[in-house]
Structure 1
Amino acid sequence: MSRKYRLEEEKAKQLNTELQEEEDKIKLQRERIFGPIVWKRLAYGIRIQDLQSMYFEPLLDIIEEHYIPENVIFRNTRFLEDEKSVKSYNEKLIHSMKDRSSIIAIDEENDEIAGVLILKAVKKCDYGRVFSRIMLSDGLVYQSVKEFMNYITRKVDIYEHFQCEIFLRYYLLCITPPYRGKGLGYHMMQTGVDIARHLNIPVIMGLMTNWKLQKLARKLGMETVFEIEYKTWHDKTGELVFCNLGAGNYSCALMAGELPPPPPPPPPPKKESNTKKEKVTRGEKRKAVQKQKG
């Protein structure tokens, strides 16, 4: 192998190395740009981050397995027995997830989904527009559920009540059974407040279907702007719809509130004084004592 050939080969290797390094830099930048924002890490190994599309389908299964059977409204209407209603509801969930405001909780040890909070920014200029009008609810049960929810949400004009042009709606909070009882639900709802601040949205709102959600909402500074007792809601034949409420669940509340002020920043660390205390000798101490005695 000639010396000239070896030099050319070394130059080619060096060029390939430089190109690979440049590609790695570009890949890292893309990951930073399109990667999820991590909003919070909890002490017990849970990471709360932006919801990405890779989780959409697994979340539909989790919601069908845990959220729908436990939700007062869906449970009492036998929602899961109507396949058309479930399909239509899943389509609505996917549409809301694509809003890019929702968050997911991940167990960092085993990469398992611990919970989800579906959020959506609702602008006054878009409220009731094209999507709401053309998206038909396929399924009689889902239509009845939407009729009940719409009755409540339309009782109060949130934009007028809070003098705002946009609010962040809490659509759905689901924590999987192994991760309950650890305060994860509150952490996720609190993160929703952080997201509202990040998006410059002044008001948060949600339809709270049980007393636990209503309690969490009050902790965030939300107030009840309209409330209906489940025992007062009947179907078109006059039959009571909500019979199996669960302990403590008496009403469905439309709750909303302006964002609380952000927590004050932590005080700056105290600077250690550079001045060293001068040491006092024993002789000087004796002189000081004798002087005091006098």
Structure 2
Amino acid sequence: MAKWTRPKAVPFPNVWRKCRGWRETEDGKIHKFSIEDVPQDMHEDIIEFLTEFHFHPTYGSELMKNVKMYEDPTAIKQYQEKWRKALKDNISLVAFLEEEGQGDKRLIVGVNVLKVDYKDHPENFEKIESKKVRSIGQNLAYAGFLVNVYEIYGVDKLVNALGLCVHPKFRGQGLGLQITKCRFEIMKAVDLKCTLTVFVGTGTQRIALKSGFEVIAEVPSDSYKDEDGSLMYPGLECKSWIAMVKIVE
């Protein structure tokens, strides 16, 4: 099937939502945020943000910390290439801090990289050089397609995600939830009906459920094992990899 492209009738880049933090941050302020399309001239800024915070040994995602992604330059490079490719679909979201007097420099405080996947073109993980990245991809795909989402919901493409990340200083403000809800807004605007994501993190799983995702499959984290029988993700706080779907009408 032909590759999906964003309809020209939908403004780009677009502002999807303005919101405020739930509570004061350490500086005593309640901040304002703007959630927007990722501008094409900011792709490398987005990748730099994700590289710093998504893989961080303290602030990174549960899964990336568990596999010590920050110690693997080859794996990081391959994730960066995956992000570059996904950003070209022009449906990814960025949250900016809105402050008076901040000038032209806009501070990125949150990112959700989104991409379009196709029924007839599943990802070929065997081509991925890094064993760590290849295994994660295969395990996400296993959890995501225990249920045949394409057949059940009658779609030939869907929106998937390659990371939801909020700046550590602005966590606990409801920003992750706001960004996730914006996914549905952009999908409706560009006429994409189905989104599927496997959430591997207690925080992101809570956000997904609050935003309206529904659970379709669940795989215990300790069921993933290496060839020698050892656990792939020992000590992972998240006990299950949960596949969730949302249909946007």
* TM-score clears 0.5: yes
- Alignment match of 1:252 (pick from 208, 221, 241): 241
Matched, 1:117 2:94: no
User: Given that residues 102 and 117 in structure 1 are in contact (C-alpha distance below 8 angstroms), is that contact kept between their aligned partners in structure 2?
Assistant: yes
One-letter amino acid matched to 1:63: L
Task: Give the 5 Å matches for 1:58-97.
Answer: 58-69=45-56, 70-97=60-87
Asked if structure 1 preserves the Cα contact closer than 8 Å seen for 2:125 and 2:134, the reply is no
Deviations 1:100-130 (A, max 9, x none): 00010111223100101111222334x32xx
Residue 196 of structure 1 is matched in structure 2 by: 187
The answer (yes or no) to whether the contact 2:83–2:162 under 8 Å persists in 1 is: no
* Residues 1:230 and 2:215 are matched in the alignment: no
Match of 1:99 among 86, 89, 94: 89
1:43-192 matched pairs, under 5 angstroms: 43=20, 44-69=31-56, 70-109=60-99, 110=102, 111-125=106-120, 127-128=121-122, 132-133=123-124, 136-192=127-183
Give the deviation of 1:134 after TM superposition: 8.9
Q: Which runs of 5+ in 1 are unaligned?
A: 1-32, 262-294
Residue identity opposite 2:108 in structure 1: I
Q: What SS does the corresponding residue of 1:68 show, helix, strand or coil?
A: coil
**What's the CA shift string for 1:209-229, capped at 9, x where partnerless?**
112222222223221111111
Q: Distance in 2 between matches of 1:252 and 1:223?
A: 14
Aligned-residue CA RMSD in angstroms?
A: 2.1
Equivalent AA in structure 1 for residue 95 of structure 2: A
3-state SS in 1 of match to 2:35: strand
Higher alpha-carbon deviation: 69-78 or 113-122: 69-78
Question: Structure 1 length as normaliser, TM-score?
Answer: 0.69
Asked if residue 36 in structure 1 is aligned to residue 13 in structure 2, the reply is yes
2:206 pairs with 203, 211, 215, which one? 215
- Deviation of 1:49 after TM superposition, in Å, equals 0.9
Between the two proteins, the alignment pairs up a number of residues equal to: 222
Q: Which runs of 5+ in 2 are unaligned?
A: 1-9, 21-30
The whole-number CA distance in structure 2 between the counterparts of 1:256 and 1:136 is: 27
Relative contact order (C-alpha < 8 Å, sep 6+): which is higher? Answer: 2
Q: Percent identity?
A: 23
Aligned AA for 2:49?
I
Q: Distance in 2 between matches of 1:35 and 1:153?
A: 30
Q: Considering fraction of residues, name the structure with more helix.
A: 1
Question: Does 203-212 or 33-42 show the bigger shift?
Answer: 33-42
Cα distance in 2 for partners of 1:76, 1:145 equals 12
Letter in 2 for 1:77: V
Alpha-carbon distance between aligned partners in 2 of 1:136 and 1:212, rounded to the nearest angstrom: 31
SS in 2 for 1:156: coil
Structure richer in strand, relative to its length: 2
Which string of whole-angstrom CA distances, capped at 9 and with x for unpartnered residues, describes residues 153-202 of structure 1?
23222111212233222331100011111111111111100011111122
Give 1:135 deviation, angstroms.
8.2
Q: Is the 8 A contact 1:85 1:137 kept in 2?
A: no
Structure with larger Rg? 1
Find the aligned partners of 1:58 and 1:151 in 2 and give their Cα distance.
31
